[in-house]
Amino acid sequence: MGFEPASQNTSEGSGERSRSTGVPGRCRLNLLPAPAAAILLGLGSSANAQAIPWTSGEFASPWNAQKIFEPSSLPDRTDPDNREEIPPEDMPVKKRQQPGYEPVGIRAGSWMFNPSLTAGTFYDSNVFASNTTKRSDIAAVIEPTLRAHSLWGRHGVDLKLNAQQTVYSQNSSLNQTNGSLKGTGWLDITKDTMLLSSFQVAHLNEGVGTLGSPSNAISPTPYNLMSGDVTLRREFNRLTTSIGFRTDSYDFQSTRAQNGSVINQDARDGQIYSLHGRIDYAISSTLGWFGGVEGNQRDIRGTPGHTLDSQGYRALSGITVGLSNLVTGEFGAGYVQQRFDDPSIGMVEGPSYRARLTWRPTRLLDVHFNAEQLVTQTSDTSATGVLANAVQLGVDYELRRNVIVSLAGGYENDRFFGQVRKDNVLTSDTRVKYLVNRFGAVSAYYRYTKRDSDIPVFSFDKHLVGMNVTAQF
């Protein structure tokens, strides 16, 4: 329910980017299709300056939000007419809505509206993510949100409009405003065929200290984002297939350096186009096989003489497991290749992998493990490609029906191409969420981030402590 400072890639929202929904007469499906949804590893919070974020926050930085693959659940092969609603205790700890704590909403015909307002404050021990000029500060954040979703028997639309204002006490250069309109939709063409879509139109800010932000910046980098995805999904008994297309367009504005000069960020403008496909085969109700491939064309302007244009693909194949509510996960291995037009970067390629596992030893505890590799790019003072590998472990514990405790830790290794540099990132995250009633919630969090780089100017560590209060209807 709470949020985090936008400069830290805010919001726990995208647990919502791959929201599931119950569609009458069919199994539960991800609104964003398996190969099209964001590869965002949801352990409870976003991680500053990482190529592979903790979650797909509403304000995820562009290079931290490459859309690759998303695990696909095994089909429910029971009789649709005899299926029962999943009780709250069988839902993931962070997504369950206990009776008496769910939002009321405002119904208007076949639509439901859920407004909310979150206000909070946080302390940042190193606001500029610097290893030489460490400055701490306190900031206030306010975020109004309006969600609207359809109540139709077939098909569906889910929209979310929000804005966020962050104001620092002493370092006004870090103040920022974000706004976003996101939507997902699904169209039941036939009993076994669905058309899935998503879009986002937003004005966002990339925080100081992230991989894409200039090392001497003292202000966030504002940018405009337009993205959309359309995917066709078809089920053939045990076989499920999908194919889709995605595009993301970025328009960056300028930021400011420590000496007051303007840092032009037009070099990061561009578009990313992706064509993706996936096949899932249910060997049994507890075991499945999948194969997926995504090809991309990245048209990024880059700096003079150093374009960031590239073409590449990623292919994965592996198994999907679903042992009742005890263990669910997906394990895949394959190959990744990204050929950059700039010869100083060249081609980044090699074996690739992804592992995602959730273990539920009790109905009160979820244990998450994620491991991931991807290729992305960043633009600082030179064109650079990045091969990122990350391992993350987290737990969500329902201390009481209305109290959720989450702990998480992660390690990421970033290898740079076009620059002699390797980074190691350690992140830990602790948070508590208290649901007062269906109209309000309070949350508190503490996050520690440490980046060690071969180039000392990029090394830093920071502590972030915050509290949020949310009113909802």
Tell me how far apart the alpha carbons of residues 172 and 149 are, in angstroms, rounded to a whole number: 37
Averaged over 319-338, what is the pLDDT?
Answer: 88
Q: Band the pLDDT of 463: cuts 50, 70, 90.
A: very high
Q: Is residue 74 predicted with pLDDT exceeding 60?
A: no
Q: Which two structure tokens, joined as six digits, stand for 60?
A: 């995820």
Task: Give the whole-number percent of the chain exceeding pLDDT 70.
Answer: 80
Q: Is residue 321 predicted with pLDDT exceeding 70?
A: yes
State residue 379's pLDDT score: 55
Of the ranges 30-39, 97-106, 192-201, 397-406, which one carries the lowest mean pLDDT score? Answer: 30-39
Report how far apart, in Å, the C-alpha atoms of 113 and of each of 102, 108, 147, 161 are: 13, 8, 6, 11
Q: Which domains does the chain have, with CATH numbers?
A: 6-472 (2.40.160)
Kindly compute the dihedral angle of the four CA atoms of residues 7, 8, 12, 16, in this order, to the nearest 10 degrees. 70
Q: Are 467 and 120 in contact (CB under 8 A)?
A: yes
Query: What distance lies between CA 413 and its chain's CA centroid?
Result: 19
State residue 16's pLDDT score: 35
* pLDDT, averaged across the chain: 80
Q: Is residue 207 predicted with pLDDT exceeding 80?
A: yes
Tell me how far apart the alpha carbons of residues 138 and 41 are, in angstroms, rounded to a whole number: 28
What pLDDT digit, counting tens, does each position of 287-316 carry?
Answer: 999 999 999 999 988 877 778 888 999 899
Residue 320, helix vs strand vs coil: strand
Q: Is residue 170 predicted with pLDDT exceeding 80?
A: yes
Report how far apart, in Å, the C-alpha atoms of 120 and of each of 4, 176, 239, 436, 463 are: 8, 15, 47, 16, 17
Report how far apart, in Å, the C-alpha atoms of 230 and of each of 36, 71, 107, 234, 455 are: 8, 17, 28, 14, 41
Averaged over 137-162, what is the pLDDT?
Answer: 94
Closest C-alpha to 457, from 117, 49, 129: 129
